[in-house]
Structure 1
Amino acid sequence: MPQVVRRVGVTALAVTLLAGVAGVAGVAAPGVATANSVALPKAAAGQDRPELQKAIQAFVDSGFAGVQLRVHDQLGDWVGSAGVRKLDEAAKPPTNGRFRVGSVTKTFTATLVLQLVAEGRIGLDSPVVDYLPRFGLDRRITVRMLLQHTSGVFNYTGEYYPDGTVAPGIPAAGKEWVDNRFHTYRPEELVRLALSKPARFEPGTDWSYSNTNYTLAGLLIEKVTGRSYAEEMKRRILRPLGLSGTVVPGARLGFPGPHAHGYYRYQDAGQWKTVDVTRQNPSLLSAAGDMISTTKDLQTFFSALMGGKLLPGPLLAEMRKPHPKSGDYRYGLGLFVQDTGPNCVGTIFHHNGSAPGGYGALMYGTPDGSRTLTASVTTGDAAIDPAQVFPKELEKLVTEVFCDGRTEVG
């Protein structure tokens, strides 16, 4: 099987099942470049990229409600959308629209933690319990293990085991989530629930994606800096890069600007129902997945990160190093690593994400940040299984952008 097919399919499934269910320009903060230093060239006005428009239309044709896509490559910037902003309306999703990025948040969180490592305020291989003693964590769990998902700590949104068994956590799917989607959770509450469950494995001995790791990372940031996670994210990354469309919403339900609506289809008493879940409380995912952003802001952030503007070289190299136990997922510190093969661009990095309902997000880039793909996908009322449909369309899109449309790769 071509490498790009295998890598994309596995990671898309991780997005659907893990990320969602399981789930001041000119003034730079320490270690951060200004927005001006990562400016990207503009595409020619009216540039036609029918192959990209076709790729996002395919998502809509397969049952998704809407897509917005931004690509930066050797031809410059291209932005487009397909589908609808809202069911029963004709308007397309706004290309400057905000959307819930889900686990893309983890890359932001990992970057912030590594900035503190660069400043000597956190030890990457230091025990987390030294910073957060109140939780009584196993002393073998290090900061690195949180960022690479090797701590073994139970995932508070539920554990899904290879044999098909499930250890339930806080519902992040189905009618239970729909009925409870406005509830506010405190990060400490989420962590304590996870720690009340048996660990999945001994620290450092295996790999398993867990939202608890990044909720702990958010609390670690707060403990070390004396500021809230949201304040520190704004101070270090959002304001310096000029990411005006990105927010850390906390428990706020709505959107701070133009946006497409997201929908969730579920069963209730044997009947299928579709509900608008645009307004939901993202505190369930905290620093593991609560952020709202735009395709432009994600492109600016990822280009800056990949281009070495946010972290010193040695720490960026650590971030990009997949842990051997992560297998086909190839996960480093807040990043997935994907090999597209010799007929494409080679290695790319990414982190996708999804909110529990309604929204999916894509963020991909080459090692130097010169070629990026950022996108949002919204679900509608079609009777589709995203875990089956999404990987196929994602594979086509990634191939179009990073293999110049070639289907024979690897």
Structure 2
Amino acid sequence: MFSTRTARALATTAAMISAAALAGTTALGAAADGHHTTSGDLQGSLDGVVRHGAVGALVEVRGDSGPWRASAGVAEIGSTRPVLEHSRFRIGSITKSFTATVVLQLVDEGLIELDDPLALWFPAIPRAQDITVRHLLGHTSGIFDSFRTMPRPPAPAFLEATRRTWTPQELIDRALAHPPVFDRPGSEFSYSNTNYTILGAIVERVVGASYGEAIEQRILRPLKLSDTSLPGTRTRINGPHSQGYVPLLRDGRVELADFTEMNPSIMGAAGEMISTTEDLNDFFDALLSGELVSPELVTVMKTPSTPGGRYGLGLWIVRTSCGDVAYGHDGDAIAFQSYSFASGERDRQVTVALTPDFSGDPDDAVDALIDEALCG
């Protein structure tokens, strides 16, 4: 729940996009086989995302011809209201890249070391002397994922769990009630949202302010990401947005229920943020260019946390069909799913967001969309 897709996701990405109000076709670039991807190609691919199981979807692609934005489907079931290209959405686990950036800024400033033991801040956590900041960032700590302890749709208890306020310590305690998922920290990869709940708490202890305030001061304000926010316990999405839905069991039947409003404290530093396609592309461009952390640490972020792995420190690492390596993150906030990636040279970027209708699986269609956007 509220965790990113597994490493399978985005490994074979390949086609792309849709825009409700686009006249003509604009070439975004030439693929390795000489084919020029046009806005018409991308629009058709985004329409395909909706056909495979989404109420609506939107995208921003950046390439040789500048930014290209598009949308498909509708913003609300039962209406003809279009998806606005500047809509805000819950970004789920893409939040982890923001949290990781703040942690690495503190490393740049000499306030944290990547190999500092967790025991410096949480000595009571089992194996805290052996688990490091690096292990938390790269999901190699072995700490159980607290979100796996939560009820999932369509169970009615899901609503109760996502309406109340959770403290970071409550989430950590739920995880620690389970044994580690492997024996030796650093030896294996196991995606766990608890790692980033702990990192958010470490940031607070180091800087004397919440991780949300740190992200606001260190990333959002300097980059002027005015449509990005950390809602804390606020349930609403301010500004233009689509409605999100989850399947819930009611009177013996599973039906889609509006889940646009929820208490994001259950996700916290691992997934609470709200943003737009434009802001996310701006963020990853600044991060990967070395504007937010030193180039040396950007290289560390892009290095797999386990040999041959596909996750670095706060970044997924994926290979495209044209042979490039791309970096970014995806996020699953149940009613909102999002993906943001940049090519290794940062000459092409793509951010996709959708509201699933759970009638099918749009993953492959999204993968194809992202790949064609990055390969052109």
TM range (shorter): 0.7 to 0.9
Please name the residue that 1:50 is paired with: 40
1:361 is aligned to 2:338: yes
Displaced runs of 4+ in structure 1, greater than 6 A?
44-47
* Cα distance in 2, alignment partners of residues 397 and 55 from structure 1: 6
* Cα distance in 2, alignment partners of residues 317 and 225 from structure 1: 24
- Please list the CA deviations of residues 114-141 of structure 1 after superposition, one character each: whole Å capped at 9, or x if unmatched: 0000000001001011133464652100
1:302 touches 1:365 (CA, 8 Å); kept in 2?
yes
1:266 touches 1:274 (CA, 8 Å); kept in 2?
yes
Please name the residue that 1:138 is paired with: 128
Please name the residue that 2:104 is paired with: 114
- Please list the CA deviations of residues 175-210 of structure 1 after superposition, one character each: whole Å capped at 9, or x if unmatched: 221343211100111112211221111212211000
Please name the residue that 2:316 is paired with: 336
Choose from 254, 268, 276 the match for 2:258: 276
Against the structure 1 CA distance between its residues 204 and 122, is the aligned structure 2 distance closer, same or farther, given a 3 Å change threshold?
same
Alignment of 1:38-117 (within 5 A): 48=26, 49-117=39-107
Against the structure 1 CA distance between its residues 236 and 47, is the aligned structure 2 distance closer, same or farther, given a 3 Å change threshold?
farther
1:383 is aligned to 2:363: no
* Cα distance in 2, alignment partners of residues 88 and 403 from structure 1: 36
Please name the residue that 1:164 is paired with: none
Structure 1 gaps, min length 5: 1-6, 14-43, 159-168, 405-410
Alignment of 1:172-191 (within 5 A): 172-175=152-155, 176-191=157-172
1:347 is aligned to 2:319: no
1:196 is aligned to 2:196: no
* Cα distance in 1, alignment partners of residues 78 and 291 from structure 2: 43
* Cα distance in 2, alignment partners of residues 201 and 63 from structure 1: 35
Against the structure 1 CA distance between its residues 239 and 46, is the aligned structure 2 distance closer, same or farther, given a 3 Å change threshold?
farther
1:396 is aligned to 2:356: no
TM-score (norm 1): 0.81
2:50 touches 2:362 (CA, 8 Å); kept in 1?
no
- Please list the CA deviations of residues 129-172 of structure 1 after superposition, one character each: whole Å capped at 9, or x if unmatched: 113346465210000000000001111111xxxxxxxxxx1224
Percent identical among aligned pairs is 39
User: Counterpart amino acid of 1:276?
Assistant: D
* Cα distance in 1, alignment partners of residues 290 and 215 from structure 2: 18
* Cα distance in 1, alignment partners of residues 286 and 25 from structure 2: 25
1:313 is aligned to 2:295: yes
Instruction: Return the offset for 1:312.
Output: 0.7
Choose from 201, 210, 213 the match for 1:219: 201
1:209 is aligned to 2:191: yes
* Cα distance in 1, alignment partners of residues 295 and 316 from structure 2: 18
Choose from 274, 281, 291 the match for 2:273: 291
Please name the residue that 1:31 is paired with: none
2:134 touches 2:313 (CA, 8 Å); kept in 1?
yes
- Please list the CA deviations of residues 331-357 of structure 1 after superposition, one character each: whole Å capped at 9, or x if unmatched: 10011111225xx251111210110x2
Structure 2 gaps, min length 5: 12-21, 27-38
TM-score (norm 2): 0.88
Aligned length: 348
* Cα distance in 1, alignment partners of residues 6 and 121 from structure 2: 36
- Please list the CA deviations of residues 278-334 of structure 1 after superposition, one character each: whole Å capped at 9, or x if unmatched: 00111111100010000010010011111121111111111000123574xx11001
Choose from 352, 356, 370 the match for 2:347: 370
Instruction: Return the offset for 1:83.
Output: 0.5
DSSP 3-state at the match of 2:257: strand
User: Counterpart amino acid of 1:337?
Assistant: I
Query: What CA RMSD, in Å, does the superposition of the two structures yield over aligned residues?
Result: 2.1
* Cα distance in 2, alignment partners of residues 152 and 395 from structure 1: 28
1:99 touches 1:294 (CA, 8 Å); kept in 2?
yes
DSSP 3-state at the match of 1:303: helix
